[in-house]
A and B are shown apart, each in its own frame.
Chain A
Amino acid sequence: MKKALFVVAIAFMGLAMAQGKLTVWTHYGGPEVTWLKEQAAKFQKATGTQVEIVEVPFGDIQNKFILGAPQGQAADLIVSIPHDWVGAMASAGVLEPMGKYATSSYISGLNDVAVEALSYRGQLFALPMFAEAVGLIYNKKYVQTPPKTWDEFLKMAQANTSGNRFGFLYNLNDAYFSYGWFTAYGASVFAKNGNTLNTSDVKLGGSPGDKAMSFIKDLRYKYKLVPEGVDYGVADGAFKDGSLAMIMNGPWALGDYKKAKIDFGIAPMPAPPGGSQWKPFVGVQGVAMSAYSKNKIAAANFAKLLVTPESQISLNKAGGRIPVSKAAVAALKNDPVVAGFSAIIASGSPMPNIPEMGKVWGPWGNALSQVTQKPDSNVEAILSNMVSEIQKGISGK
């Protein structure tokens, strides 16, 4: 009898609390989920609002949120979205503009690139949490000082490419990773008209794009660094096995490298032959809110709790993410990973966050896969096909 009463009481409590409940979708795993749950517990203690954390895979969040939010079937908050989703999700109506919840003193405490990345058409759509970019990660056992110039780099990479060891690997066909080479030769995704991007002018083609594509092909067939069949898993596995001297990868991979007891260092990639500075894509992730949330004030408060400098520091301790709050970066300046990647991020440019970017990735990766398929691939024709497919996708004609 007592037990039954207890159950009933619990049920009623559940009903009462359901009023002030927040749902959060996250793609984090392991220690970062634990971190998020700790923040949720802290928030519940302070405000009495219950926070439910639901784990959703990264690849599903965008689609499910766009479909589900208008029907009230999605979370109040997403922790966290990469900034290149912002345009598409805002246009699809599901993101709440966050400008009204963020104070100017909070904004001014952030890295400018991060704020710019998460803003679309002048509105801030997510509160920045951390940034990421790819850089050169080298195994100190084989590479003592990171190469500064292409010649040094090539010499080191080729010297290490022998026996059962690779000098330098990454997935050539991944446009996100390969973008740095495009900027080095003067290409960009879209032409810039002052502060806005001109989506009808795709700048990946022409001579700069041709040079970049040819260089990427050369990494395989001329310099013989990256053989066929190297995807992210192969490169990552080789580095973890200690069979790879240098890899192009981002901060998300470092946890595994530490676990594999690899002594690594971080540096920017050198400029490719005949090119200028290598500038990677910078990705910024932030907390976004559903425009259809029924509990916007509480959601905004929890979002603000997640992005304070203290939270960014504790997230870095949990998962190694590179914070975007100036105060947090300053507090972590002795951490070689944060210092190394912060420098790379400062040199890079954020990925375009306009919805049209969605029409670029597919053709771009497809073109890279065609170029690197065989030594005599026709770079020029592939590139012009790619540009026309992108343009067709954007104009819809």
Chain B
Amino acid sequence: MERLSRYIYGLLGAVLVVWLLFFYVPNLLSRIQQSVPFGFVRIENGWLYVLGGIIVLIALILAYSLILTSINNARSGRRKSPWPLFAQGVTHLLIWIVLITAFYPVLQIVAASFDPNNSLYKFAPPQSDNLLVRSRVIPDFAQASLENYSKLFDGVQIYAYQWLLLLVALLSLLGTLSLAAYRRTIGDTQEGSPLANTQGRFLSIFTLAAFILIIFLSPSQFTSPNTEAKFILWIRNTLLVSGVTGALAVALTATAGYAFARFSFPGRYSTLLVFIFIQMFPGFLGLVAIYSLMSNLNLLGTYTGLILAYSGGIISFGTWVYKGFLESISKSLEEAALIDGATKWQAFIRVLLPLSAPMFVFIFLLQFVGTYSEFILANLLLTGTDSWTVGMGLRNFTSGQFQTKWGLFAAAAVLGSIPILAIFYGFQRYFVSGYTAGSVKE
């Protein structure tokens, strides 16, 4: 029976491949018009050169590994195979190709952010002998200017105390990072080591300073009439909204996940099902309904309204993930506490909560990242450029009545993605463990 279904799958796969190769791909290729617009550099059979280049590189790697291994073998008198070294070299090559593909759009965004023309497409031919620059595959940095960036900061008045706080925040961040790097090099991975504690203190100072900065930044400090000059304000709004949303997500899912994981009240299974299936409704298509709800509550145009509207988004997933995490923790600790006379609530607070920190970080970050660049709900509920979030601002640059302000978009994108990238790189560990705890079931 199993063999039969395997044959059927194999047959279906083969049919699909044949269809793709013999019908779909030729159809696709026939849709390419055989004409070259001017300004378009086309090299007949250029792929042969590239292929040749790659083969030469592989040959070089092969020669390198053969020679290096034979020298080493001759010196040490052992007989080691050159193939692992060769395989490593090819792996590096492959990964570099992937790296370039992954970073190519990033390069283009960065290039566009330095281009004052507000256009992603250049027409004046670049003065360069480099074929890649001339064909505009690699952006031409010859006319780079900081105009787009300066527009984003135009007319922003920052008070002395804010500069001071910024300085404190930056220094403590620097301290955290350098301590982290130092601890890595000396191999200090203990949680409670003195260095780790100092690092934690730096992080708290940074959080506090950033928090004060965020709370006390006011729209009146942005004096320029241009919309884009409110960029810093948008970042602040976003950090505020996403931060509170993330904290709310943790607060709402923690107790629910605990109840689902540890209690066995009647109706637990059906409630869990309802939780999961409700989430499958494409919620943001209910924009009009959400609007009318927030309007009845007089929460339109407030961050409270937006935060509440976002809050529904992660409850079921967060609960599910946290439930999975708790189930992977042995019950013995809590049971000991319960026997000692603690209530369920006390057992949860004293025993499970401290263990759950990585999961809470994960849920917080997931919600933070998810709402950071959201723009559809935000656009519905917030009005006026003073209250915009980064996502709305970015979307606005590219969806004007006619124009697309690519230069400003790119500059804002570069600055606006820094917090998210920092979070991803700083908390990579939590993302990995969170996703695995949430879904790995063996």
Chain A residues close to B by CB (< 8 Å): 25, 27, 29-31, 33-34, 37, 54-60, 64, 67-68, 71, 73, 161-164, 227-228, 232-234, 236-238, 240-244, 252-253, 256, 260, 374-375
Contacts and interface: CB of A to CB of B under 8 A. Distances in A.
Interface string B343-358: 0000000000000000
- Residue of A55, A60, A227, A244 with most chain B CB atoms under a 10 A cut-off: A55
Nearest to A82: B401
B22 interface: no
- Residue of A60, A233, A252 with most chain B CB atoms under a 10 A cut-off: A233
Contacts of A375: 33
B300 interface: yes
A319 B125 CA distance: 31
Nearest to A64: B383
B306 to A, nearest CB: 14
A236 B119 CA distance: 9
A248 B58 CA distance: 52
B426 to A, nearest CB: 33
Given A31-B225, A37-B225, A233 B404 contact: yes
A57 B394 CA distance: 12
Contacts, number: 98
B226 A241 contact: no
B400 interface: yes
CB-based closest 10 A-B pairs: A237-B119, A243-B123, A54-B384, A241-B123, A55-B385, A71-B295, A34-B225, A58-B401, A33-B225, A233-B404
Interface of B: 31, 33, 37-39, 117-125, 225-227, 288, 291, 295, 300-301, 379-380, 383-386, 396, 399-404, 406
Given A67-B291, A68-B295, A233-B121, 18 more contacts: A29-B225, A29-B226, A29-B227, A33-B225, A54-B384, A55-B384, A56-B383, A59-B401, A67-B288, A71-B295, A164-B125, A228-B33, A236-B119, A237-B119, A241-B124, A243-B124, A252-B401, A252-B402
A164 B403 contact: no
B117 A73 contact: no
A234 B404 CA distance: 10
B225 A57 contact: no
14 contacts: A25-B383, A27-B401, A29-B227, A60-B379, A68-B300, A73-B295, A73-B300, A73-B301, A162-B38, A233-B119, A236-B402, A237-B120, A244-B123, A252-B402
Nearest to A252: B402
Contacts of A232: 402-404
B219 to A, nearest CB: 11
A280 to B, nearest CB: 15
A260 B383 CA distance: 33
